[in-house]
Chains A and B, each alone.
Chain A
Amino acid sequence: MTLRHHLSGPHGRPFAVLLACTILLAVVDGGQGRFLSAATAYSSLQTFATISLVTLGLGLTMMIREFDLSVVGMYGMAGCIAVLTGTQHPWFGLWLALGIGAAAGVIQGIIILRLHLSSVGVTLGGLLIFVGIAFVLTESRALPYDNLSVALALNERIAGVFSIRSIVALVFFVGAAAIFAWTRLGSEIIAIGGDRRAAITAGVKVDPLVIGIFAFSGLCAALSGVLLSYSLASASPAGLSDVIAPAAAGAILGGVSLGGGSGRPLGIAAGALTLAVLRSGLNAVGAPPFVNDITMATVLLTVAVLDGPYLARRLILVRQRFHAATNA
């Protein structure tokens, strides 16, 4: 198998897109050192830290042909809980928020399975409930987090390009990738998304896995929200960052299909990193703000079109005809 084959395959495509975007930005920079610098690498990884954990959780739910909209609400609510309870003891605030995030995921998973409901409807309800709770807890105000030493430590540069936040995100992806590579969980998750009945017939314990994935998604959103709130020394019931659009885009760029049954954690990491590199890279080369949105939309649209089953079938047909013609 050549590198070209790897990059053009379904699992290699996210890395090919990441590579293409990186090369494109390097060309636009024209060797001025604005893009290929430690500062831009750090900036990209910081953006990656903000969106990637939510992308991972959301991507996993998409793999099993579900969708967890509640990550938006959990992202904001967990930050508020941690800031309210973690000024003196940051670890307590973190663990409390993580526990609530995971528990909320379990409850949503159980409701979806036991009542045979659509995950979109249930998690939309979850989103609204979490946002409502956050507004009640904060009395509809943004909260300051007075432990500024924690805020500064979380974003302090490590080895020039990393921070505690980005390292935590990377560790989660490495862990998820290891589980996919070395246990049956990965193939079972893909099987559930591909054909749930067939997965049950094959002996996959679907219900615990679905509940577990929603719990993991809630936990990822909570962790991401807490780290962001601590690092910005602030919490807002409305959330501190737009997260659902980049997370869904990152998962799709990472090779996850809305139809379920495809994707890998490292692919999702590549998808989230592509968005982060584009955002920081375009900023570094001085592109106007609107170019950022247009470029990201173009990349996403291109990947969505290329991944479309109709286009794939057409390409195979064209290739077969080409081979038949050349052989004749």
Chain B
Amino acid sequence: MVRAVVGLIATLGLLFFIPANANADPKGKKIAFLVTSPTHPFIATLSKTFIAKANSYGMEVNTVSQHFDAALQAQQVDDAIARKFDMLAIIAGSEQAIVPALIRAKQAGVPVVLVNSPPRDGSEDLYLSFVGEDHVELGRITGVSVLNALKEGGRDGGKIAAITGSLQEGVGPRRLTGFREAIKVNPKAQIVAVEDAKWQTDLSERIAGQLFARYAAEGGLDVIYGMADNQAAAIVQSAKAAGIPLGIEKGKLIVVGSNCLKQGITGIKAGEQYSTGTQIPTRTGLKAAEMIADYFDGKMLPKNEILPVETITKANVAQWEEACSY
């Protein structure tokens, strides 16, 4: 009897992950696309690519958005469930606050694909698949890049500051974890300041100026990590305004970024930014649409579709210029 019950539960559990629309067609399927911060260039490009690709499969995409308003996004999930969409694709604004809404989606039998923003650990049974980068790894390769830059510049260590995206949850803390792990390898490289600039360009510029003033008496900073390239570009501007030379040589400030934005590519080509990391919105948008189409074609999706990350420096910038210029 117990075996029968366990077997039944296991079967029901598996049914959730097996495509409900086996041998069906993506054509005509209705997708609710719930977007956070739609005006950010990265998200705007991701959304545009996703919608175009999904439409090319004959899927109908209905987009709703909000600006890091967790309550509104939870409400939008509930509305989408009530409107009986075939699939929810969500760029979550809050990995914590989306959980009850994901539970309701699961209870209603509506499959969810999480895009770009990583899910909360332990919530794996609430969504079909996640597509995006491993942000710990993205932070780690940036840390390695910093150590390489210090070595190339003939420095055995240095004072490092990080001007980050929002550190409350999600991408920011993950990248910082990876960054710290990588920097630990060199005991003479010290992270002396971590400042939360919430991904904002203007705030990053202001914080950079304050950091320059704070560390001027101690010989200045060796490296600043702008967690996204818009922040790295702001740091470059602030350094120029403060008369601080940029570059890898001793006495100059090394700036590294991430997210592979156009500003980052420009900065690398100009020798003002040492590196960035590949997080490409067109790639994520295309992959998300392809995976949803695959699901409706009856294919089994991986739980996590982790997109590869790579460091971009002057050596390989030409290879990534087109993909990162949007």
Q: Name which residue of chain B comes closest to A228, CB basis.
A: B71
| Selected interface stretch from B97-105, B143-151, B252-260, B264-272 | B97-105
| Cα–Cα, bound, A242→B75 (Å) | 14
| Selected interface stretch from B167-175, B282-290, B291-299, B318-326 | B167-175
Is A280 in contact with B70, judged by CB distance below 8 angstroms? no
List chain B residues, Cβ under 8 A from A47: 75
| Cα–Cα, bound, A40→B38 (Å) | 24
Is A46 in contact with B97, judged by CB distance below 8 angstroms? no
Q: Does B120 contact A (CB under 8 A)?
A: yes
If A233-B96, A241-B70 touch, whether A43 touches B173 (CB-CB below 8 Å) is no
Number of A residues near B (Cβ < 8 Å) is: 36
List chain A residues, Cβ under 8 A from B74: 231-232
Is B69 in contact with A242, judged by CB distance below 8 angstroms? yes
Q: Name which residue of chain A comes closest to B65, CB basis.
A: A289
List chain B residues, Cβ under 8 A from A280: 75, 79
| Cα–Cα, bound, A47→B38 (Å) | 21
Is B96 in contact with A144, judged by CB distance below 8 angstroms? yes
Q: Which of A37, A46, A234 has the most CB atoms of chain B within a 10 A radius of its CB? A: A234
Is A142 in contact with B100, judged by CB distance below 8 angstroms? no
Q: Does B78 contact A (CB under 8 A)?
A: yes
List chain B residues, Cβ under 8 A from A286: 62
If A141-B168, A141-B169 touch, whether A233 touches B100 (CB-CB below 8 Å) is yes
| Cα–Cα, bound, A94→B77 (Å) | 26
Q: Does A206 contact B (CB under 8 A)?
A: no
Binary flags per residue of A141-155, CB closer than 8 Å to B gives 1, else 0: 111110010011001
Q: How far is the CB of A43 from chain B (nearest CB, A)?
A: 5
Is A234 in contact with B70, judged by CB distance below 8 angstroms? yes
List chain B residues, Cβ under 8 A from A152: 100, 103-104
Q: How far is the CB of B277 from chain A (nearest CB, A)?
A: 24
Is A143 in contact with B78, judged by CB distance below 8 angstroms? no
Cβ-Cβ contact count across A and B, 8 Å cutoff: 99
List chain A residues, Cβ under 8 A from B196: 140
Q: Does A257 contact B (CB under 8 A)?
A: no
If A140-B167, A141-B169, A240-B71 touch, whether A148 touches B100 (CB-CB below 8 Å) is yes
If A148-B100, A152-B100, A233-B97 touch, whether A241 touches B71 (CB-CB below 8 Å) is yes
| Cα–Cα, bound, A47→B79 (Å) | 11
If A155-B100, A240-B97 touch, whether A283 touches B76 (CB-CB below 8 Å) is yes
If A140-B167, A234-B96, A286-B62 touch, whether A39 touches B71 (CB-CB below 8 Å) is no
Q: How far is the CB of B177 from chain A (nearest CB, A)?
A: 13
Q: How far is the CB of A105 from chain B (nearest CB, A)?
A: 23
| Cα–Cα, bound, A150→B306 (Å) | 33
Choice from B62, B70, B169, B173 contacting A232 with Cβ under 8 Å:
B70
Is B79 in contact with A234, judged by CB distance below 8 angstroms? no
Binary flags per residue of A26-58, CB closer than 8 Å to B gives 1, else 0: 000000001001011011001100100000000
| Cα–Cα, bound, A140→B176 (Å) | 14
Binary flags per residue of A43-79, CB closer than 8 Å to B gives 1, else 0: 1001100100000000000000000000000000000
Q: Which residues of B (25-78) have their CB < 8 Å from a CB of A?
A: 38, 62-65, 67, 69-72, 74-76, 78
| Cα–Cα, bound, A17→B231 (Å) | 44
Is A240 in contact with B94, judged by CB distance below 8 angstroms? yes
Is A46 in contact with B75, judged by CB distance below 8 angstroms? yes
List chain B residues, Cβ under 8 A from A238: 168
Q: Name which residue of chain A comes closest to B62, CB basis.
A: A286
Q: Does A129 contact B (CB under 8 A)?
A: no
Is A141 in contact with B167, judged by CB distance below 8 angstroms? yes
List chain A residues, Cβ under 8 A from B168: 140-142, 236-238
| Cα–Cα, bound, A148→B104 (Å) | 12
Q: How far is the CB of B198 from chain A (nearest CB, A)?
A: 9
Q: Does B217 contact A (CB under 8 A)?
A: no
Q: How far is the CB of B227 from chain A (nearest CB, A)?
A: 15
Is A46 in contact with B78, judged by CB distance below 8 angstroms? yes
Binary flags per residue of A225-264, CB closer than 8 Å to B gives 1, else 0: 0001001111011101110000000000000000000000
Q: Which of A143, A144, A284 has the most CB atoms of chain B within a 10 A radius of its CB? A: A144
Q: Does B3 contact A (CB under 8 A)?
A: no
List chain A residues, Cβ under 8 A from B167: 140-141
List chain A residues, Cβ under 8 A from B78: 42-43, 46, 155
Q: Does B82 contact A (CB under 8 A)?
A: yes
Q: Name which residue of chain A comes closest to B196, CB basis.
A: A140
The 5 closest A-B pairs by CB, nearest first: A39-B82, A234-B96, A241-B71, A232-B97, A234-B97
On A, residues with C-beta under 8 Å from B are: 34, 37, 39-40, 42-43, 46-47, 50, 140-145, 148, 151-152, 155, 228, 231-234, 236-238, 240-242, 280, 283-284, 286, 288-289
Q: A140-B168, A148-B99, A233-B100 are in contact. List 6 more A-B contacts (CB 8 A).
A: A42-B82, A141-B169, A228-B71, A236-B70, A242-B67, A288-B63
Mind listing 13 A-B residue pairs with CB under 8 Å?
Answer: A37-B82, A39-B83, A42-B82, A141-B167, A151-B100, A155-B78, A233-B96, A233-B100, A240-B94, A241-B70, A283-B79, A286-B62, A288-B63
